A and B are shown apart, each in its own frame.
Chain A
Amino acid sequence: MKKTHVALLVLVVVAISVISATFLDFSTYETFSSAAKVPGKSFHVIGFFDKAQGIQYDAKTDPNQFSFHAKDKSGAMTKVIFTNGAPPRDIDKSEQLVMKGYVKGDVFYCSGIQMKCPSKYKKDMVVGEKV
């Protein structure tokens, strides 16, 4: 067996073991209730912004957090406190939210939000009808 082959084999073994080790980094998509089973551990929760209750953000008391309510896929409504800054643009217009965070008590503490916003087509349907 050639040295290059041995070296390659070693590298491949190391690579596979590293990939399998970091595989544990990957999180899972949960609902609020399944995330609540392990309080304090961070998960991803897919949910929907509750327009009726809106955003509570007062930069004068704390510029780094805001809260809102979201419904998850099972339909459960939970209070979400975002602990990582000001409200992102268009969160109240989003179709879907992917929230990173953990449950403590009956609140979901969220450190990251990925929003899915309505497509341009839809948005402009509204504009078109107004015309």
Chain B
Amino acid sequence: MATEFTGEHLLPGQIGYFCVILSFVAALFSSISYLFAVRTETTDPEASKSWVNMARMGFFTHTAGIIAIFVALYYVIANHLFEYHYAWSHSSLDLPGKYLLSCFWEGQEGSFMLWMFWHSILGIIVMKTAKSMETRTMTIIAMVQVILGTMLLGLYLGQDIKIGSTPFLLLRHAMQNAPIFSMPNYMSFVKDGNGLNVSLQNYWMVIHPPVLFLGFALSLIPFAYCIAALWKGDYKTFIKPTIAWSLVGGAVLGTGIMMGGRWAYESLNFGGYWAWDPVENASLVPWLTLVAGLHTLIVYKSTGRAFIITIIFLLLTHLLVWYSTFLTRTGILGKTSVHAFTGDGQALYYHLLVVLAWLVLVAKLPLLFRWKSLPRVNKEEATLSREFWMFIGAAVIFISSIMIIFSTSQPVWAPLAKWITKKDIAPPVDVIKHYNDTQVWIAIIIGFLSGVTMYMKYKNTDARKLWMNLGFVALTSGIMAFAIAYLQRITTWQYCFMLYSACFSIVGSISYGISVQKSKFKNLGPVTGHLGFALILLGILLSSYNKHAISFNSMGVRFGFDKGSEEKNITENRENELLSLGRKVAMGDYYATYIGDSSVPGKDKRVYYKVKFEKIDSTTHKVKEQFMLYPDAFINPKGNESGLSANPDTKHYLTNDIYTFISSATDKAKSDTSTYISHIAQKVGDTIYLNEGYMIFNGFSKDVKDARYEPVEGDIAVSAKLTVHDKFGGIHEMAPVYVVRNKEYISYVEDTVRDMDLYARLGNIIVKSTDSAYAEIMVRQTNPMDDYIVLKALVFPYINVLWAGVIIMVFGFFISLGKLLSRKSKQEIAHPVASIDNADELPEIVA
């Protein structure tokens, strides 16, 4: 049955889908051609060269194809072609233009596309720079692109097996069973899309996913280089490019993760930047293994040791990126994560399992195949050597990643645990405590190790000098930690250790940079990176340890909690405070007053709430400081949902942040039951008392200027001049209009003071004599007790230390990269294994 559908735009989808197929086939072609280029490399160099040329062409075609898919999908979204399922489910007509890009990453297909796009761009850079490693690295990269390409195919094999899903699926195909789609003119009913999730309508959501996905994509390059090195049996050429790519990866993925934290901080109301949510953990863990691999790779470069573990770490990093995709995309986390993506069902689940199995095989086989001939150093390293402690540090980071991924994978291993223990295992009741309890020790160890290891030399270190340096660092940082602990009242002993460790690393980095490296900028990469990391630790500690609510509810019925176990519950559950319109409430050092909102019934669904914060001097009772915060919320977003979706607003100080968000608010559209109350003003100067101030009648005016009133000849139009004084001392003018048309029809043009939610109507003009008339002023105002918000206000002390730490750390990665890339090529040749006996004379690359 072929129905002719009207009103559809099929061309962009056809072009787009063609490009999906094109880029898939081109990647396959490229990968296979590169493979043949490798196979003929030694036997027939001429043939190998032409294979390489073909493979390159294939890869360029592939890249062009992906860009074309992007353009086609952007066209579909930007032009609101809702006949496409993707546009319909992720965008809507009223979506502001700046968020159009966010639609790409809300959906499954769009984020795979983004991932593929970055791979293809990175692939071209590798193609141009890898030289003798090109054929092998690119075989792997193109192969991964083939795999990602299958995610967009949307092919059905038989009835039940679906491979991938295409972003150009038509709405009528996605929902074949709905009767509306049998109508040829169904498009005339599909007026608007479903819209973008409101929590994604935030500028961080425009930039965070591309950066994060670039970070994920960057993990592929060290993966490809490691396999290429094993494949070729060449264990030195890969070192420099792999270090370089790992540095970029560490910087970008680190930035991406913290941007996600920043997004959560600014637009999700879970009250912070990190909640050990599975989705967050899933991106943190690959970063940890990447950083571990980077450190052991530097050990290998400088001493020839730790080759195998390096390869394992770097291969694992990319595999973990895929595993994260599996965790977050298939809905397996459904029960445990706040923001796991909705799963695409069983098809994607098995698809990703097959991909994972294949990639594990691709990573494992060359390693096993070369196992016996891999570079090893049999001589034992000295205890006081940099390589030994860097190795330990990397191992500790790796253990941390295992712990995190183990807990995060709880839904994966729960069925097995159920089979053994006969119990239905659930996540920990207090998830944050569960992770903090173990990771605080990792942080302590890493902090101390990074401080100590810098002062060590490869091969062996002069013990006396080392202890002198470390003694100075330990003493200085001890004083610093003690001062901070005292001032910030940090008393829990684990966290005192963590504070000391972070301070140790900070002081160690700075003093090493100044005293040993003589502040030479190009050498300062590692010192800067470690300083940044230590500042992150310090920032996390200061902002989380003393994070506290200043909104603290004193009303309400309390439960009889047992003081011991549920004590935290009591404080937790009092963090919300009710603010009635205009009522001043004490919050910490401040007084907060809710003074109005921006709601315009039926218009913008995002409502901003105005909350005034004042700091009042306790002796003089004068206002020392005041500021406004505008936390906002979507009341009943998308119309058919209930409740609200809130975005916080934050007052930033150098030393702390005051962070507020709306937990609940009156829905004006629903509670607007108040009616007009009539008041008679007999003469000029009469006062009408309002709930929140008063109003003065200043007489009538025949000079009516109101945009909403269009004069018609014969009209009698009169306005009442009103002056409204609100309780905050503000003065507003109102001029409601009374119109008599054709001496018969009476109409009103009301006037409002939005801030006060005050409506005034000139209800009647009662003529008393030739020169006097009463005015009937009808006033509508909401009862202040009915207009309230429920607000949560938190203080994050010294959170800027954390953000500064992130920036400094990323900067450190790039300084190291700059130094690495500027090195003379002759030093590259130094074979690490050959020069093991004079490791001390080897230039220190990064560490």
Contact = CB atoms under 8 A, between A and B. Distances in A.
Interface in B547-606: 553, 555-557, 559, 562, 565-566, 569, 572-578
A37 interface: no
A15 interface: yes
Interface string A23-51: 00111111000000000101110100000
A22 interface: yes
B644 interface: yes
Nearest to B428: A25
B788 A59 contact: yes
Task: With a 10 A CB-CB cut-off, give which of A4, A84, A100 has the most chain B CB atoms.
Answer: A4
A53 interface: no
A26 B426 contact: yes
B395 A3 contact: no
Contact of B426 (A11, A27, A102): A27
B407 interface: yes
B573 A116 contact: no
Contacts, number: 166
B647 interface: no
Interface stretch (B534-542, B635-643, B677-685, B766-774): B635-643
A61 interface: yes
A76 interface: no
Contacts of A22: 403, 407, 434, 437-438
B574 to A, nearest CB: 6
Interface string A104-131: 0000010100101001110111011101
A98 interface: yes
A120 B434 contact: no
B379 to A, nearest CB: 9
Given A15-B402, A84-B569, A89 B645 contact: yes
Nearest to A100: B429
Given A27-B426, A59-B788, A90-B642, A114 B180 contact: no
A85 B381 contact: no
B641 A59 contact: no
Interface stretch (B334-342, B717-725, B801-809): B334-342
B425 interface: yes
Nearest to B786: A60
A56 interface: no
Interface in A68-102: 81, 83-93, 98, 100, 102
A98 B429 CA distance: 12
A85 B271 CA distance: 12
A86 B576 contact: yes
B553 A83 contact: no
A46 B816 CA distance: 51
B640 A29 contact: no
Contacts of A44: 426-427, 429
Given A4-B388, A42-B429, A121 B641 contact: no
B556 A64 contact: yes
Interface of A is mostly: mixed
A29 B424 contact: yes
Nearest to B426: A44
Interface string B423-443: 111111110011001100100
A18 interface: yes
B120 interface: no
Given A8-B395, A120-B89, A128-B180, A62 B555 contact: yes
A27 B428 CA distance: 5
Contacts of A129: 178-180
Given A59-B788, A63-B790, A26 B572 contact: no
B309 to A, nearest CB: 9
Given A4-B381, A27-B429, A63 B577 contact: yes
Contact of A3 (B178, B383, B572): B383
A16 to B, nearest CB: 10
B663 interface: yes
A12 B403 CA distance: 11
A10 to B, nearest CB: 10
Contact of B399 (A15, A63, A86, A87): A15
Contacts of A63: 553, 556, 576-578, 663-664, 790
Contact of A84 (B380, B392, B573): B573
Contact of B562 (A14, A28, A40, A65): A40
B334 A116 contact: yes
B216 interface: no
B664 A86 contact: yes
B415 to A, nearest CB: 12
B98 to A, nearest CB: 23
B761 interface: no
Nearest to B785: A60
Contacts of B423: 28
A2 B391 CA distance: 13
A7 interface: yes
A125 B175 contact: yes
B557 A28 contact: no
A65 B573 contact: yes
A121 B175 contact: yes
B295 interface: no
A4 to B, nearest CB: 6
B572 A120 contact: no
Contact of A109 (B424, B428, B559): B559
Task: With a 10 A CB-CB cut-off, give which of A7, A63, A109, A125 has the most chain B CB atoms.
Answer: A63
B493 interface: no
B335 A64 contact: no
Nearest to A127: B640
Nearest to A7: B392
A86 to B, nearest CB: 4
A124 B175 CA distance: 9
A123 B553 CA distance: 37
B208 interface: no
A124 B557 CA distance: 40
Contacts of A102: 566
B627 interface: no
A19 B406 contact: yes
B189 interface: yes
A111 to B, nearest CB: 6
A7 to B, nearest CB: 6
Given A64-B556, A111-B573, A128-B178, 16 more contacts: A3-B381, A12-B399, A19-B402, A19-B406, A25-B429, A27-B429, A28-B426, A29-B426, A44-B427, A59-B664, A84-B569, A89-B641, A124-B194, A127-B640, A128-B179, A131-B189
Interface of B: 89, 174-175, 178-180, 189, 194, 334-336, 338, 342, 380-381, 383, 388, 391-392, 395-396, 399, 402-403, 406-407, 410, 423-430, 433-434, 437-438, 441, 553, 555-557, 559, 562, 565-566, 569, 572-578, 637, 640-645, 663-664, 785, 788, 790, 792
Leading 10 A-B pairs by shortest Cβ distance: A62-B556, A89-B643, A86-B664, A44-B426, A29-B424, A86-B663, A25-B428, A63-B790, A27-B426, A42-B429
25 contacts: A3-B388, A4-B388, A7-B392, A8-B395, A15-B403, A18-B438, A25-B428, A25-B430, A25-B434, A28-B423, A40-B565, A43-B429, A59-B664, A59-B788, A62-B557, A63-B556, A63-B577, A64-B575, A65-B573, A83-B559, A86-B664, A89-B642, A90-B641, A92-B642, A100-B429
